[in-house]
């Protein structure tokens, strides 16, 4: 943990911290001594996690209940963020999956995905960056997906995650030498509630990971200042080969077998 810029304890802000990967970021960062600001819609979940982490790791944890796809909620979070005296880490993690064919999904759902994955993430980065630059350091983790690296199913979901990948890569370039690190975290299948409201992919067990492994990989990669983090060897191989015109048709056929069938 970097406290060098200030004697004030370092803080990490995590969106979508009420379950899954976000809750695990909260757990691992609290274990490293970070004070936390946790954001999501389910306040009971956030409060339960906050009191567990405060007791276990003796760190301050603040909870903000907000639907980040709604501009007034997002702006409420932004006004709190800019007041934080030593925000060292922002994790843009809040997200949800879409299932079905593009034209069959309600347009409002496409809009919500774009608002949450893209607009909320960009807004929060824009809010935290001046403070990080003034302090000479900080880290921004944008939770994207393998779907943001390789275009398979889930048109809008993949496109919003591809935005986060490109955004992170370019921002990383722009910030070289500033002390601020940027990462796009691109997991494959992870056992979380993300899959509980939709048909689960029928992929073999070796293609699944846990939130604990994904977050450990992300934080280790951050130390090495690498902008793209793909946890797991199988996914690193797919990411490396997947855009090749020779390999992509094979991956695309495999995905047709693995991913949930869409209603015709």
What residues contact residue 229 under an 8 Å CB cut-off, 6+ apart?
Answer: 183, 184, 185, 186, 217, 218, 221, 222
Residue of 131, 120, 169 lying closest to 14 (CA atoms): 120
Stretch near ligand NAP under the rule CB under 6 A, chosen from 63-71, 173-181, 230-238, 247-255: 63-71
Among 192, 203, 210, 252, binds ligand NAP (CB under 6 A): 192
Which residues are bridge partners to 89 per DSSP? 12, 139
The answer to whether 191 is a known catalytic residue is no
Decide: helix, strand or coil at residue 184: strand
- Footprint of ligand NAP on 118-137 (CB under 6 A): none
- 16/138 with CB nearer ligand NAP: 16
Q: How far apart are CA 90 and CA 122, in angstroms?
A: 11
| Per-residue binder mask for ligand NAP (CB under 6 A), 69-98, x = binder | x-----------------------xxxx--
Q: How far apart are CA 39 and CA 43, in angstroms?
A: 9
- Phi, psi (rounded to 5 degrees) for 185: -90, 125
Catalytic residue among 34, 157, 163, 235: 157
Buried b / exposed e along 17-51 (16+ C-beta atoms within 10 A):
bbbbbbbbbbbbbbeeebbbbbbbbeeebbeebbe
| Per-residue binder mask for ligand NAP (CB under 6 A), 143-172, x = binder | x-x---------------------------
Among 113, 189, 232, 235, binds ligand NAP (CB under 6 A): 189
Among 138, 187, 231, 242, binds ligand NAP (CB under 6 A): 187
Residue 194 in contact with ligand NAP, rule: CB under 6 A: yes
Name the residues that contact ligand NAP, by CB under 6 A.
15-22, 40-42, 45, 67-69, 93-96, 116, 143, 145, 187, 189-190, 192-194
List residues with catalytic annotation. 157
């Amino acid at each position: 943990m970097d406290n060098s810029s200030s004697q004030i304890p370092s803080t990490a802000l995590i969106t979508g911290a009420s379950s899954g990967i976000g809750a695990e970021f909260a757990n691992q960062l609290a274990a490293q001594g970070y004070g936390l600001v946790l954001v999501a819609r389910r306040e009971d979940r956030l409060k339960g996690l906050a009191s567990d982490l405060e007791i276990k790791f003796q760190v301050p944890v603040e909870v903000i209940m907000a639907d980040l796809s709604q501009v007034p909620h997002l702006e409420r979070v932004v006004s709190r963020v800019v007041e934080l005296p030593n925000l060292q880490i922002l994790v843009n993690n809040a997200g949800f999956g879409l299932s079905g064919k593009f034209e069959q999904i309600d347009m409002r759902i496409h809009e919500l995905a774009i608002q949450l994955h893209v607009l909320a993430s960009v807004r929060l980065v824009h809010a935290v960056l001046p403070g990080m630059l003034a302090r000479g350091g900080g880290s921004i983790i944008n939770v994207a997906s393998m779907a943001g690296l390789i275009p398979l199913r889930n048109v809008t979901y993949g496109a919003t995650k591809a935005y986060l990948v490109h955004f992170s890569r370019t921002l990383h370039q722009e910030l070289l030498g500033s002390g601020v690190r940027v990462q796009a975290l691109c997991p494959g299948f992870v056992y979380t509630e993300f899959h509980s409201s939709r048909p689960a992919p029928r992929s073999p067990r070796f293609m699944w990971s846990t939130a604990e492994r994904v977050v450990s990989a992300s934080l280790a990669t951050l130390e090495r200042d690498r902008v793209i983090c793909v946890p797991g060897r199988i996914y690193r191989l797919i990411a490396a080969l997947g855009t090749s015109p020779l390999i992509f048709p094979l991956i695309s056929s495999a995905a047709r077998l693995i991913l949930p069938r869409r209603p015709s």
